[in-house]
Amino acid sequence: MHPLAGEKAPKEILEDIPALIAAYYTQIPNPKYPAQRVSFGTSGHRGSATKKSFNEAHIVAISQAVCDYRKEHKITGPLFMGKDTHALSTPAQLTAIRVFAANEVLTMIAADGAYTPTPLVSFAILAHNEKDDIHTSDGVVITPSHNPPSDGGFKYNPPNGGPADTHVTDWIERRANEILEKGVEKLELPSSEAAMASGFIEAYDFITPYVEALPSIVDIEAIRRAGLKIGVDPLGGAALGVYEKINEIHRLGLEILHPYVDPTFSFMTLDHDGKIRMDCSSPYAMASLIDLKKEYDLAFANDADADRHGIVTKSGLMKPNHYLSVAIKYLFKNRPLWGGDLKIGKTLVSSAMIDRIGEALGRKVYEVPVGFKWFALGLFNAELGFAGEESAGASFLRMDGSTWTTDKDGIILNLLAAEILAKTGEDPAQHYSKLEEKFGTSYYQRVDAPATPEEKARIKALKPEDIETDTLGGDPIESIFTRAPGNGQEIGGVKITTANGWVAIRPSGTEDIYKIYAESFVSWEHLQKLLDDAVKIITEALSAE
């Protein structure tokens, strides 16, 4: 734990924004080095200009690869482009616009350089494709999510509106690196001014249609009638304009904190490792809002692109797994038009509390690997009533059971918390206490441990037969799997379950570490036994011939 975790960011650590943007344009990545190539993780390509991992050459290559993918798959409708408030997002958008204009791709962007959250891009794609299923649209969002101010990110959403599946991102990544290797200077691109005047770049109002449609998914009228005092902190991100429009149209009287954009994010409190990170699920990054918990009936926040949520009640910041559990229980009990066959989507490292709730509700739980992309099709086909992941990302269907977004939407999850309080008189934290009384107390933790690239590869390739023990945490092992039970996809590691708990072991995709997730329904001591046994299992597996 960093000594300044939870404290206001000191001036000396703030990002030098002019130097960062200069590096974006002047630093030339060398694709011979893996760290300087295009690499799509669970949510697009991310990197930093000063590390030669997010520079103009990368964005030219990725944007051209997206154009090539559109041609290959006959995607002929407009491309919707969003961006967040990270300093590299606007330069990257200007670069992408030049590429899209050169390829004669009609591109929709927010007017006057405004910011557009991830869920609004998904919403716009789906709204267009509902009206025109021949000339289908897709989109990109330029965001590194909650990452530090030095980072940039670029992700692609296909016509289903959600995060691109691996077969899509693999195609784009491979093509982008081919372009990078040949040299992006070989592409003939117009100037930014010429691109904007080309007729292929149009202004689009992302916010108004989204905000006007909110009563179809959340009981806005109930929130307004309750007269709740609600604090909202966009954490300097793209959601600011959305909440301002919500107040304008729906008159909820939300008190918006930090109502401005600052690319250094100097108002943030430092995360656990002493870095500025707009992580609305971190008690350290959320310290300033938590300090105000007694001033509001409810408060909430979003990360920079608003695909994650953070709920603060009078008792403090809710853990993501706790709120997901409450949201699932409430929604499936209070959406009478939802069909009886709708499933609950969860990632394999989300709390088993969700499984217990699903069983009590008589609903099937659809468990997938880490990554919201695995939920996109289920939400698109309105087969999943709710889909959520342990890192505070979720979405759900409209009140009539139709699709809202197929990407994570932190805004509706925040407003749902207000609906829960308005209609039940109890906040989500109070609801979670009742869940624990009924289903038991969850003790959950994730720990990281160092691992070489070779060790990470071996962990990723583990098979059930490589686990030679019959017990975990003193209990008989009930299941060992390396493919998610919901969709049969490889989880990139292993999950082991017992009647009283589970562990999941996965290598990191970006760092030389592996992650152990564990949950006990017995005690903190039992949780520690689970973690200790997980370390032994990995140690034995890595030492085996």
Q: Which domains does the chain have, with CATH numbers?
A: 15-208 (3.40.120.10), 443-543 (3.30.310.50)
User: 107, 81 in Cβ contact below 8 A?
Assistant: yes
**Measured between alpha carbons, how far is 119 from 341 in angstroms, rounded to an integer?**
25
Return the pLDDT at 510: 65
- Dig out the tokens for 316 from the structure: 């403090």
The amino acid present at 286, given as its one-letter code, is M
Cα dihedral 486/406/326/284 (nearest 10): 110
Return the pLDDT at 545: 57
- Dig out the tokens for 27 from the structure: 């630093």
Return the pLDDT at 234: 98
Return the pLDDT at 42: 73
User: 208, 387 in Cβ contact below 8 A?
Assistant: no
**Measured between alpha carbons, how far is 78 from 74 in angstroms, rounded to an integer?**
12
User: Measuring CA to CA, which residue among 269, 255, 306 is closest to residue 414?
Assistant: 306
- Dig out the tokens for 175 from the structure: 């093509």
Return the pLDDT at 544: 74
Q: 543 pairs with which residues across the strands?
A: none
Return the pLDDT at 3: 96
User: 320, 417 in Cβ contact below 8 A?
Assistant: no
The amino acid present at 127, given as its one-letter code, is A
Return the pLDDT at 497: 97
Q: Is 191 a catalytic residue?
A: no
**Measured between alpha carbons, how far is 482 from 464 in angstroms, rounded to an integer?**
7
The amino acid present at 190, given as its one-letter code, is P
Return the pLDDT at 542: 84
pLDDT in tens, the chain (545 residues): 899 999 999 999 999 999 999 999 999 999 999 999 999 987 799 999 999 999 999 999 999 999 999 999 999 999 999 999 999 999 999 999 999 999 999 999 999 999 999 999 999 999 999 999 899 999 999 999 999 999 999 999 999 999 999 999 999 999 999 999 999 999 999 999 999 999 999 999 999 999 999 999 999 999 999 999 999 999 999 999 999 999 999 999 999 999 999 999 999 999 999 999 999 999 999 999 999 999 999 999 999 999 999 999 999 999 999 999 999 999 999 999 999 999 999 999 999 999 999 999 999 999 999 999 999 999 999 999 999 999 999 999 999 999 999 999 999 999 999 999 999 999 999 999 999 999 999 999 999 888 988 999 999 999 999 998 999 999 999 999 999 999 999 999 999 999 999 999 999 876 788 999 999 999 999 999 999 999 999 998 888 75
Ordered alpha helix ranges (H), 337-380: 353-361, 376-380
Quote the pTM value. Answer: 0.96
**144 backbone φψ class: left, alpha, beta (φ>0; ψ -120 to 50):** alpha
- Dig out the tokens for 269 from the structure: 């409190």
* CA 449 remoteness from chain centre: 23
Distance in Å from the first CA to the final CA of the chain: 36
**Measured between alpha carbons, how far is 64 from 100 in angstroms, rounded to an integer?**
7
Catalytic, out of 43, 53, 89, 145: 145
**Measured between alpha carbons, how far is 376 from 490 in angstroms, rounded to an integer?**
17
